[in-house]
Chains A and B, each alone.
Chain A
């Protein structure tokens, strides 16, 4: 299915011009965008998948056209007509020439159009990010993210006892502009910042809050693997002696990496099923 689609695309671009860049692949291959996977166009073209996104992103129609490489059609304000012409998905060389003519005529407006373009580019990036957050929760999206996960494209856990466990990208909010992307380690179940500074400014909502959870539930083998892993933890020592609990630097965070092991602890664990029991 998807290969078919790519074939179509390349065919189309050949017709258009020799050096025609498709928006989605070029966005995903940009430096620092290694966490993104390519969302297939048929996912985006399905209006059901886009439900309510029009309210979240400004210039929704134009941004969507840009993502789908349909932006050359026209500068017309008449969006509906535009959509109809795109629905056929093909337009001829003449249309392009007409548009060039229009731009020359509107030379005075040239500058505002340039500004518009960068605004729409920005809106397109936001829109793509939000579509991406939805896509990676689908079966196909999970598969593609799993491939990236296997290739350690999201990095590995910096924690020593996690033994280089691969990380999963994760948002702390599903709306844009709140938090940057974080990485979840399935082994220590903790959140980390990306090692490389180029990922530090990526918007977290482009992966969404549900992704690590859905990923863990979809690939059961991963959860089992993590459960079988060693549960070592570190304790600070001075000349081989542990530091007294009463000291200021005494151990305070053991619980963070603790797992039930004795029967008593498992009983206690069972009591924690629905609420925090009284201590």
Chain B
């Protein structure tokens, strides 16, 4: 039985390989798709697959032309449409530059793609699998995180992670992820994501930690925690006046 299973999976995987070959065959015989290789690279786990049709639609590329040199060549390279002779005749240095440009360009398109309906769906399944990690804050209870940039232009700041539970910003755990440009996810993504899937907004934890010495709270810290609680109560009062239901998603968890 087990043998049969493994046979089947092998047959399946062979078929998969055949399929990718078929797809890639318009540019060359047995080369993997560029996007697949890019996504399979270590540290690229945050990225999702952008449809080639999305990349080749010029309308989606408005204002990106100047972000890289030889823009159309880069686009063709990403969707494996560049013909082989050009690639083979290219000097090594140029090829390296092309690869570098392609990665940057893919990142910038990616930032646009993930706020489209299809892109949001793909990011949704990644979020469900907690591909972006979980919040380490104790009271957030392993809330899955969302990637976010602090700038929409590349070269400023690396990607950060947004926690929908405590609404704060965190650094990625692994240094491989911490070095990805934040512009490849954009400043808008988490907001758009929660607008598209409001049911994913968690109830926010109210519980606080105040340092204690032998059971007695530190005065200054406790005073600040009380003041912050007052701010929260004022917000609650305000929202209730506007008839916002705070017992559902986007409201507050009851204190245990």
Chain A residues engaging chain B, CB cutoff 8 angstroms:
158-161, 170, 182, 184, 189-193, 195, 209-210, 212-214, 216-217, 223, 233-234, 236-240, 243, 245-260, 265, 268-269, 272-273, 275-277, 279
- Supplied contacts A158-B173, A253-B166, A272-B230, 18 more A-B pairs, CB within 8 Å: A158-B171, A182-B138, A210-B213, A213-B212, A216-B211, A234-B167, A236-B167, A236-B194, A245-B239, A245-B242, A253-B167, A256-B166, A256-B167, A258-B228, A265-B227, A269-B227, A272-B227, A275-B226
- List CB contacts (< 8 Å) of B189-239 with chain A: 190-192, 194-195, 198, 201, 204, 209-215, 218, 220-221, 223-235, 237-239
Among A193, A240, A252, A277, the most chain B Cβ lie within 10 Å of the Cβ of A252
Within the assembled complex, what's the spacing in Å between the Cα atoms of A277 and B234? Answer: 11
In the complex, which residue of chain B has the Cβ closest to the Cβ of A186?
B211
Select A246's contact among B139, B221, B242, beta carbons within 8 Å. Answer: B242
Select A159's contact among B168, B210, B229, B244, beta carbons within 8 Å. Answer: B168
Contact yes or no, A193 B230, CB < 8 A: no
Within the assembled complex, what's the spacing in Å between the Cα atoms of A239 and B192? Answer: 9
Within the assembled complex, what's the spacing in Å between the Cα atoms of A269 and B250? Answer: 27
Within the assembled complex, what's the spacing in Å between the Cα atoms of A4 and B167? Answer: 52
Contact yes or no, A217 B213, CB < 8 A: yes
B171-182 CB mask vs A (1 if < 8 Å, else 0) is 101000000000
Contact yes or no, B213 A279, CB < 8 A: no
Within the assembled complex, what's the spacing in Å between the Cα atoms of A238 and B204? Answer: 20
Contact partners of A269 in chain B: CB under 8 A: 223-224, 227
Contact partners of A255 in chain B: CB under 8 A: 228-229, 231-232, 235
Contact yes or no, A160 B239, CB < 8 A: no
Select A248's contact among B201, B224, B252, beta carbons within 8 Å. Answer: B201
CB-defined A-B contacts under 8 Å, sample of 16: A158-B173, A160-B160, A160-B168, A189-B211, A216-B218, A234-B168, A245-B238, A247-B198, A248-B194, A249-B164, A249-B195, A252-B252, A253-B166, A253-B167, A254-B167, A279-B237
Contact partners of A240 in chain B: CB under 8 A: 187
In the complex, which residue of chain A has the Cβ closest to the Cβ of B166?
A253
Binding site of A, secondary structure by majority: helix, strand, loop or mixed?
A: loop
Given the interface pairs A213-B213, A249-B198, the reply to whether A277 lies near B230 with Cβ below 8 Å is: yes
Given the interface pairs A191-B139, A195-B173, A209-B212, the reply to whether A279 lies near B230 with Cβ below 8 Å is: yes
Given the interface pairs A160-B171, A253-B167, A275-B226, the reply to whether A189 lies near B209 with Cβ below 8 Å is: yes
Within the assembled complex, what's the spacing in Å between the Cα atoms of A234 and B157? Answer: 15
Chain B residues engaging chain A, CB cutoff 8 angstroms:
136-139, 160, 162, 164, 166-171, 173, 187-188, 190-192, 194-195, 198, 201, 204, 209-215, 218, 220-221, 223-235, 237-239, 242, 244, 248-252
Given the interface pairs A246-B244, A249-B191, A253-B166, the reply to whether A191 lies near B214 with Cβ below 8 Å is: no
Within the assembled complex, what's the spacing in Å between the Cα atoms of A10 and B17? Answer: 64
Contact yes or no, B209 A190, CB < 8 A: yes
Within the assembled complex, what's the spacing in Å between the Cα atoms of A12 and B16? Answer: 68
In the complex, which residue of chain A has the Cβ closest to the Cβ of B197?
A249
Contact partners of B210 in chain A: CB under 8 A: 189
Contact yes or no, B162 A236, CB < 8 A: yes
Contact partners of A252 in chain B: CB under 8 A: 167, 204, 235, 250-252
Given the interface pairs A249-B194, A250-B250, the reply to whether A191 lies near B170 with Cβ below 8 Å is: no
Within the assembled complex, what's the spacing in Å between the Cα atoms of A273 and B138? Answer: 26
Contact partners of A216 in chain B: CB under 8 A: 211, 218
Among B213, B215, B224, B237, the most chain A Cβ lie within 10 Å of the Cβ of B213
Contact yes or no, B223 A189, CB < 8 A: no
Within the assembled complex, what's the spacing in Å between the Cα atoms of A252 and B251? Answer: 8
Contact partners of A275 in chain B: CB under 8 A: 226
Given the interface pairs A159-B169, A193-B138, the reply to whether A238 lies near B218 with Cβ below 8 Å is: no
Contact yes or no, B214 A246, CB < 8 A: no
Within the assembled complex, what's the spacing in Å between the Cα atoms of A215 and B249? Answer: 38
Contact partners of B212 in chain A: CB under 8 A: 209-210, 213
Select B170's contact among A160, A184, A254, beta carbons within 8 Å. Answer: A160
Top-4 shortest CB links A-B: A249-B194, A248-B250, A255-B231, A238-B191
Select B221's contact among A189, A234, A253, A265, beta carbons within 8 Å. Answer: A189
Within the assembled complex, what's the spacing in Å between the Cα atoms of A182 and B138? Answer: 8
In the complex, which residue of chain A has the Cβ closest to the Cβ of B189?
A238
Contact partners of A238 in chain B: CB under 8 A: 188, 191-192, 195
Within the assembled complex, what's the spacing in Å between the Cα atoms of A145 and B238? Answer: 45
In the complex, which residue of chain B has the Cβ closest to the Cβ of A168?
B211
